[in-house]
Amino acid sequence: MPTLATERTVYTYQPGQWPEGLLTGHDGAPGVFVVEHVVAFHKRALLPLVRAAIAEARARGYQVLVLHMPEAFPKTPGLCALALRVGFLEYARAEGWTSWSLHL
């Protein structure tokens, strides 16, 4: 069933004339931003998008980024590799989800 999320932040990644991706999420505990979706409009934009989002989070005063990935999602292994590459650490597994954090 479709759901509608409210009170979310959307960061548009636009290094040039046109957008190349976006990231959505919301505030968690104080100082924590919970990443929900990372969408790159083409493959080569993914890593720069994630790095730009981390830099933006630091600039906005967040102390921790958190993300939760469903283990059944086919792209999760690649996303976990990306998370490790940019410094996230796995901190929990429960009920088919893996949770990651990056301390800024």
**Domain-wise residue ranges, the chain:** 9-103
The correct answer on CATH 3.90.1570.10 for the domain covering 9-103 is no
List the Cα angle 28/31/35 in 5-degree steps. 45
Q: Are 62 and 104 in contact (CB under 8 A)?
A: yes
**pLDDT at residue 98 is higher than 90:** yes
Confidence of residue 39 (pLDDT cuts 50, 70, 90): very high
Q: Are 8 and 33 in contact (CB under 8 A)?
A: no
- Range in 1-5, 17-21, 53-57 with the lowest mean pLDDT: 1-5
pLDDT above 70 as % of the chain = 97
pTM of the model: 0.89
- The pLDDT score that the predictor gives to residue 7 is 86
